[in-house]
Amino acid sequence: MTTPTSSPSPNEPGERPLDGAVVAVAGAAGPAGRATLLRLAEAGATVVASDSDPARLAEAVDAARYAHGGASVTGETVDLLDLDAARAWADRTEKEFGRVDGLIHLVGGWRGSKTFADAPLADWDTLHNLLIRTAQHTSLAFHDALLRSGKGRFVLISAGGAAKPTAGNAAYAAAKAAAEAWTLALADSFRKLGGEGDPSAAAAILVVKALVHDAMRAERPNAKFAGFTDVKELAEAITGLWDQPAQEVNGTRLWLTPKP
């Protein structure tokens, strides 16, 4: 284990909030990923994106570059179900850019059923891989680099259903709850490795009911999407986690929707 560096000094006047920061985004090609790439690039971060869909990832990366001329946004296809591949991605990122200040876990997926008794256990296998295994692999892969950063952040996106499961969402809610527990264990690691001082890195959970974006609103102009979180609001909340000291962020759940 490398001794963590001390936290960098605050930004000089006129600097953007994440100037100099390097942030990796897993699951970057979906609507939430696109919004997050855009916001991180706008905030000045060097953004390293990954996704399992190379074509959609290239579109997301190009959009962020185009929106913020001169922004450093790169992308590569990484199999996050392979721990060695995840570790190699983390190592490449730190070697190329000299540091890693964040890992945003946006890998998602949903499976549900009409009733509890109808729930196919195959759904659990799918969600276990998408929601839990990828969170495990990315957190293990980036753990030490985030500590070395001095301002590292691991961010998991969860759902309110993890706290109040419904009969038709058993597998999804259970997978989200397991991913939350894993993230809180990561937060405890950051706390303990901080010794007698404050942690140098933080793991946090952002909780939504569901996400909404412009295309969804266009498809369903009369829908209210009550309690949904816009992907732009999610991206803003993610970026804001660097505005607070690590000890205030570590091991917390930030609710972006009313608690169930």
Q: Spell out the CATH class of 22-255.
A: alpha beta
Q: Please give the share of the chain, as a percent, with pLDDT higher than 90.
A: 85
Provide the edge-to-edge strand list for the sheet that holds 102-105. 73-77, 46-51, 22-26, 102-105, 152-159, 201-208, 252-255
Q: What value does the mean pLDDT take over residues 223-227?
A: 93
Give pTM, 2 decimals. 0.92
Q: 103 or 114: whose pLDDT is higher?
A: 103
* Structure tokens that stand for 112 in this block: 């549900």
Residue 101 has a pLDDT of 98
pLDDT tens-digit readout, 166-209: 999 999 999 999 999 999 999 999 999 987 788 999 999 999 99
Q: How confident is the model at residue 14 (pLDDT cuts 50, 70, 90)?
A: low
Q: Which of 157, 156, 175 is nearest to 165 (CA)?
A: 175
- Examine the pLDDT at 123 and tell me if it is beyond 90: yes
Quote the percentage of the chain above a pLDDT of 70.
95
pLDDT exceeds 80 at position 5: no
pLDDT score, position 13: 44
Q: What's the DSSP call for residue 247?
A: H
Average pLDDT over residues 82-86: 98
CA distance 74 to 84: 20
